[in-house]
Amino acid sequence: MRSGAPLSYSSVRAYLECPLRWKYLYIDHLPEAPRSYFSFGRTIHSVLEEAIRPLVVPVARRTPSGRSQRTLEDFRPGGALPRGESIAGALPDAEAVMEIYRKAWVSDGYTSPEEETRYRELGAEILSRYWAAVRADPPTPVAVEEHLEATWDGVPVHGFVDRIDRTPSGGLEVLDYKTSRELSAADARESDQLALYQVLVRENFTDPVEGLTLYHLRSLTPHRTKPRAAAALDALYGRVTTVRDGIRAEEYPPTPGRQCPRCDFRTICPEFREVPGTEKERLTLLVDRFRELRDREQTLSTELEATAGELHREAERLGLHRIPGSREVAIRRREETWGFDMATVDRVLRENGRTERADRADPGAVRKLANDPKLPPEARAAIASAGSRRTRWYWELER
């Protein structure tokens, strides 16, 4: 993946979890071992894509320039049902769905024939129950398994959306299938995947996104939630730009965590690679020496901090900034740093018609906004109140 290539939900999650694993996957293109739950999910998704596609009726889309519409005339014919044909009649029957299932089955990653058989039976049960529900109350999809791309405030993003439905009020609902054992309404409310899909659909379709849904196939439960508010999208954008900036800077440090036991790259990861036997004795001595020096460093650091504190108190008492010693002069310096609540700053800019985002890495530029005459006084005051100042005193030695 190039540094400017579009980011997906899975790549963002992978980088935030462990940048080094991201590099192994997207730069080095190292393969991961197949896993049964991935194969099972891919199979079910493929079946539902093919089975529901006959119901798709495309809607107007945005042009690459961003704002104008393409009309239905721009779409290939075949989206609408022939006259006189019912919605249920356009769908394959249960037997046809099972045939699609048999052809779509992916056998990779199962640890035994018994495990694969159990998953096959589970998939048949899920599809049978779900398809009965679909035929009883057919959805109104405008797209299935749709690959969408967008530029989100300068960051290219993309994703494959399982399904986009027309709502009764004329808007759009983003739906993602889940074959996991358990799923809750909280999962839907907190899903970064749904939030990114909301952005992609918003940037590609002219109709508004009115709902987000994680559909739990095992229990036939749609966990619906409202579209993400601006603050939640701003928070996600912050995580996406963190990943974008890390990739640009080629920062790929290993990040040990609970994901490590299931990682396929442990044998090449520097966190888990073992010291060669020929180097053990020499490196053991080096580590022991480092420990001794670190102990001394901690003692000296404590003494240094205490001495600097005493100098500072005496300088305050006597009103001094320069204190001579026998060989050098100790000079007291003042350092001031600012920090801002960037979500608040971005919200204030957006509410006042400013489309740019403040540079998180440049607090000085944000401070200038607090004095920008092009912003109303109340906006400048809100930006100023979102900042906090930290002052630090330190000492330098000069001959």
**From CA 267, how far away is CA 33, in angstroms rounded?**
14
DSSP 205: B
pLDDT value of position 151: 95
**From CA 383, how far away is CA 345, in angstroms rounded?**
6
**From CA 268, how far away is CA 32, in angstroms rounded?**
13
**Cβ–Cβ under 8 Å, residues 164 and 198:** no
- In Å, what is the CA distance from 286 to each residue of 269, 271, 314? 22, 18, 41
Q: Which two tokens stand for residue 288?
A: 């022991």
Residues 104-113, buried b or exposed e (16+ Cβ, 10 A)?
bbeeebbeee
Residue identified by tokens 């056998």 is 107
**From CA 38, how far away is CA 32, in angstroms rounded?**
11
Helix (H) or strand (E) holding 331, with range, is strand 329-340
153: left (phi over 0), alpha (psi -120 to 50) or beta: left
Q: What does each of the 399 residues of the chain score in pLDDT, given as a tens digit?
A: 666 789 999 999 999 999 999 999 999 999 999 999 999 999 999 999 999 999 999 988 886 554 444 444 444 333 444 444 455 567 899 999 999 999 999 999 999 999 999 999 999 999 999 999 999 999 999 999 999 999 999 999 999 999 999 999 999 999 999 999 999 999 999 999 999 999 999 999 999 999 999 999 999 999 999 999 999 999 999 999 999 999 999 999 999 999 999 999 999 999 988 888 899 999 999 999 999 999 999 999 999 999 999 999 999 999 888 999 999 999 999 888 888 888 888 888 888 888 776 666 677 788 888 888 888 888 888 888 888 888 888 999 998
pLDDT value of position 242: 95
Q: What angle do CA 349, 351, 356 make, to 5 degrees?
A: 35
**From CA 166, how far away is CA 163, in angstroms rounded?**
10
Query: DSSP string covering 169-181, please?
Result: TS-EEEEEEE-SS
**From CA 323, how far away is CA 330, in angstroms rounded?**
5
pLDDT value of position 209: 97
pLDDT value of position 275: 86
pLDDT value of position 83: 42
Q: How many CB atoms lie within 10 A of CB 56?
A: 19
| Residues contacting residue 13 through CB under 8 Å, at least 6 positions apart | 192
Three-state DSSP at 267 gives: coil
**Cβ–Cβ under 8 Å, residues 172 and 164:** yes
**From CA 261, how far away is CA 257, in angstroms rounded?**
9
Amino acid in position 263: C
Three-state DSSP at 148 gives: strand
**From CA 106, how far away is CA 51, in angstroms rounded?**
17
- Return the axis-axis angle of helices 9-17 and 19-26, rounded to nearest 10°: 130
| Residues contacting residue 132 through CB under 8 Å, at least 6 positions apart | 94
The dihedral formed by the CA atoms of 150, 153, 157 and 161, expressed in degrees to the nearest 10:
-60
**From CA 308, how far away is CA 296, in angstroms rounded?**
18
Residues 354-383, buried b or exposed e (16+ Cβ, 10 A)?
beebbebeebeebeebbeeeebeeebbebb
Amino acid in position 53: R
- In Å, what is the CA distance from 316 to each residue of 232, 309, 320, 396? 46, 11, 7, 16
**From CA 131, how far away is CA 140, in angstroms rounded?**
15
- Measure the N-to-C terminal CA separation of the chain; round to a whole number of Å: 52
Q: Exposed, middle or buried, 70 (CB in 10 Å: 0-12/13-18/19+)?
A: middle
DSSP 208: P
Closest CA to 269 of 13, 10, 28, 37: 28
Helix (H) or strand (E) holding 150, with range, is strand 141-152
What residues are paired with 66 via a beta bridge? none
pLDDT value of position 1: 62
